[in-house]
Amino acid sequence: MDNELIVKLENVTKRFPAGKTEFTALSNINLTFGKGEFAGLVGPSGSGKTTLLNIIGSLDTPTEGKAIVLGKTINSLSHKEAAALRNYGIGFIFQTYNLLPVYSVYDNVEFALLLQTMGSTQRKKAVMEALDWVGLADRASSKPSTLSGGECQRVAIARAMVKRPQLVLADEPSANLDSNNSHNIVQTMKRLNKELNTTFIFSTHDQKVMQYLERVIYLKDGKVERDETGGNNHAGI
Amino acid sequence: MKQEGTIMLEYKLAFRNLFGAGLRTWLNVTVLSIAFVIIIFYNGMLDGWNRQARNDTKAWESGSSQIWHHLYDPYDQFTIADAHAKVPAEYKPDIDRNLITPVLIAQATAYPGGRLVNVLLKGITPSQTILELPTVALGQNQENTEDYIPAIVGTRMAHSAKLKQGDNLLVRWRDANGTFDAREVKIAAIYKTTVPTIDNGQIWIPLEKLREMTSMPDEATYIVIGADYKEILKERGDGRQLQGWIYKDEKALLKELDDVIAAKKGGSKIVYGLLLAIALLAIFDTQVLSIFRRQKEIGTYIALGMTRLRVIWIFTIEGSTHSILAILLGSIWGIPLLMLIQKTGIPMPSSVDQAGLAIGDSISPFYSAGMILSTILLVVISSTIVSYLPTRRISKMRPTDALRGKMI
């Protein structure tokens, strides 16, 4: 991990309207994430993990405070600027994979690059390389409906990584997977983190994922309860 | 960082999504293609009828244009007694050259089979060739016209008066001085025409004979102008400068016909408007359902870096592509069907011409490029609008809610 700052959160608070009152999902969050970090947001349901990931991913904005991601202040981005930030700088991995069902594995991974300017030869090479990373090059023409859950999540990882983003946000990536597949996909991400020096931020409450994390941030009721670094049992993988 | 990409990506995605939807897409496309073909058929029928009616009316009744006596009103029988005057002298050479032909009208009473029928006696030059009326029959046996007056009538008149060729018919009229006279006319020929306004209640006799009978020498009620003469007449100022005569151009003469066709088109628009509405409603419904069911997909698009505008584009293109596919599908089954109908024509029952409009035994639809193009534009534009309307919800959608598939 080098010292380049990827994410900086200053007093981030997020409130949602709840009837006539407001629900505070995040309260005064102050965090930074550097380049190449493999960190996780951990906590029970409703602790604010996903909300924090959404703000970092420019899918949402803080009610108060400031979120700076890849040098951009999320609070002040227009829809178009936020889309450009996600397009070039951030990869997403979702709990339910969110693959596009009518596309093949190849098309799903290629989709991320179609939003960018890239020649078809270069694009094809990048897609096949990404599928190689996750061991699915031989399933390129398959439809998502023919894949197992683990394979689908590996396609989602390939889609997130194919554009070589500086930051990958993974929201409960192992929640729908069995134990073997959970280990497998986290190991894959860990390997890519090391090889490509990409910053990974997870939200999880899965112990199998947590054991791979180099930094674990415990959230409770929208606040940072603990921020622990160096708890990684599999750093060498 | 700048988001790049071309509109082709949206088209590519839209087509994939559309074909991925399978049967639902093809049901919508089929319904829309039926509406598309029926709209073209309806308009083609009316255009075909319009063309046929205009051509027939010009060929049988109106010529390229006419010059009317200023009192003449074909819809007011009371004007006929006074609506006649001597044909302007400068027209006489043109009449002799058969470029124009005068018509004189007199009211009369006919007595077919002892019954009394009000008729119009119309005098026309037997040698004229401007109108398709078989007036040549009026010129045969001219030497015997002292004995009888040759007359031609249409099939409708013959049918209602129970006349056949060779029959004699007693007619009574009043001359210019108001004196009654009566003679028998002999039916020299019975003509069949699609133009009922030169048939019902009309008896055509030689012009000179009618002038003699009514003591109206050299007079006419109106003058029919042949196509060749139209340009010459224009150079002379359309005859408007002639005192007591009024020039009626093609537009004025066919106004009633055009009005009826326009009214028919208005009525048919309701029918195909309903058909189109059903098809568009199916597309609208599909779009609403699609946006509701595919919220996660929408969220994913946005998370992967698409702007909402581009997502709206994808869904709008998806919806409007129904119309492109409908036009293609409609062309596949519609072109052979419409061409067959054009070739065979649609038979029309004889009762339909009682409306007083020129209508043939069958109508061949006419499909003009302009009409087909405007129909295509109507279908594409309307389906694009109904495809776009539901997608406006995407612009209000929070991506975080969309990703969760939360109801909007």
Q: What is residue A207's predicted lDDT score, i.e. its pLDDT?
A: 84
CA A130 to chain centre: 16
CB pairs under 8 A between A and B: 76
Min CA distance, B384 vs chain A (Å)? 23
Are A60 and B398 an interchain contact pair (Cβ–Cβ within 8 Å)?
yes
Interval B350-386: pLDDT, tens: 665 555 566 667 888 999 999 899 989 988 999 999 9
Interval B228-267: pLDDT, tens: 777 776 666 655 567 788 888 888 998 888 888 888 888 8
pLDDT band at A161 (very low <50, low <70, confident <90, very high): very high
Q: Report helix, strand or coil for A147.
A: coil
Domain boundaries of chain B, sorted by first residue: 2-58+257-403, 71-243
Are A115 and B9 an interchain contact pair (Cβ–Cβ within 8 Å)?
yes
Min CA distance, B286 vs chain A (Å)? 17
Using a pLDDT cut of 90, give the percent of chain B over it: 40
Does the beta carbon of B329 lie under 8 angstroms from any beta carbon of chain A?
A: no
Are A116 and B296 an interchain contact pair (Cβ–Cβ within 8 Å)?
no
Beta bridge partners of B345: none
Using a pLDDT cut of 90, give the percent of chain A over it: 68
Mutation to test the B interface, candidates A58, A102, A118, most B Cβ within 10 Å:
A102
Are A159 and B304 an interchain contact pair (Cβ–Cβ within 8 Å)?
yes
Does the beta carbon of B399 lie under 8 angstroms from any beta carbon of chain A?
A: yes
Interval B60-77: pLDDT, tens: 999 988 999 999 998 888
Q: Distance between CA B270 and CA B275 in Å, rounded?
A: 9
- By the 10 Å C-beta count (0-12 exposed, 13-18 middle, 19+ buried), A197 is classed as middle
Contact B191, B161 (CB under 8 A): no
Q: Which of B231, B223, B249, B279 is nearest to B37 (CA)?
A: B279
Q: Looking at this predicted complex, what is its ipTM?
A: 0.89
Give the one of B17, B19, B306 whose C-beta lies nearest to A115's C-beta. Answer: B306
Has this prediction a pTM greater than 0.80?
Answer: no
Q: Distance between CA A221 and CA B329 in Å, rounded?
A: 58
Give the one of A79, A84, A96 whose C-beta lies nearest to B1's C-beta. Answer: A84
Are A159 and B9 an interchain contact pair (Cβ–Cβ within 8 Å)?
no
Are A86 and B2 an interchain contact pair (Cβ–Cβ within 8 Å)?
no
